[in-house]
Amino acid sequence: MPLPRFFVDLPLNAGALVALPDAVAHHALRVLRLTPPTRIVLFNGAGGSWTAELQTQGKHAYAQLLEHDAFEDELPGRITLVQGIASGDKMDFIVEKAVELGVTGIAPIAAQRSVIRLTGERQQKRLQHWRRIVVAACEQCGRNRQPPVYAPLTVQEWLQAHAHDYHVVLLCEQGATTPLATVLQPIARGHSIALLVGPEGGWSNDEMQAAESHGARTVSFGPRVLRTETAGLALTAATCALLGWND
């Protein structure tokens, strides 16, 4: 059975006794009901993970660091999910499952047809919420590197700033005729891919024209219309399978 995993935003060094942050200690002791000297795993995003022994002193929890494991469970290439912001808890689901599938970045897009509008303090709170979901997903799925969730942009802003960073930018469109497998043929390990997925109402004509003007390729993904919370995840999984990136 896998050891319980916890992210800590702290330096981790061999032999160190680390005071666990309150939230981590609460999760370990109160939620999971772990008892010392249970073995746990800590990671901080700097590379690999550490096996540790849970300890308590009074009301405080500590981890005695033991062995370092340099293993990284990352894709051999880069996939960024450029996702039109979805309403309710759909976006939470997308972020969580995208992390589990191995994406290396999530770019929320304030699309013209997005149901919710995020600005100011509300946007910052939602961004922090999504980043907490990333941490929890990494703890659960075994990833030691946290994919960033970027600040929301319009699709035009994202294309202008980032489209040139990728070997291919793909836009999922129901009316497209080019299969995903055809577009991915030139992609190799170490390459980078951006997957553009619209919100509930899809991309507007202006957004699609902007994508195509920045070199995005429109791809089809079967005859059925996928919901926004399905499309990006299905595209990510299919892309990894077609490229053999999970082998």
pLDDT tens digits for 9-52?
999 999 999 999 999 999 999 999 999 999 999 999 999 999 99
Rounded to an integer, what distance in angstroms lies between the CA atom of residue 157 and that of residue 199?
16
Is the Cβ–Cβ distance between 87 and 116 less than 8 Å? yes
Averaged pLDDT for residues 76-80: 98
**Domain boundaries of the chain, sorted by first residue:** 5-69, 78-243
Confidence at residue 183, expressed as pLDDT on a 0 to 100 scale:
94
Specify the residue for token string 């951006």: 194
Burial class (CB in 10 A: 0-12, 13-18, 19+), 56: middle
Q: Among residues of the chain, what percentage have pLDDT more than 90? A: 85
Most distant CA pair in the chain: distance in Å?
65
Strand blocks (E) in the chain? 5-7, 17-19, 39-43, 49-57, 60-69, 78-84, 105-109, 168-172, 192-197, 217-219
CATH architecture of the domain 78-243 equals: 3-Layer(aba) Sandwich (3.40)
Arithmetic mean of pLDDT, 179-190 = 94
- Residue 174: its pLDDT value, please? 75
Domain at 5-69: CATH code = 2.40.240.20
Peptide bond into 2 cis (omega under 30): no
90 Cα distance to chain centroid: 14
Query: If pLDDT is split at 50, 70 and 90, which confidence band does 82 have?
Result: very high
Instruction: Check if 5-69 and 78-243 are the same fold.
Output: no
The share of the chain scoring above pLDDT 70, in percent, equals 100
Q: Which two tokens stand for residue 161?
A: 């700033």
pLDDT at 115: 85
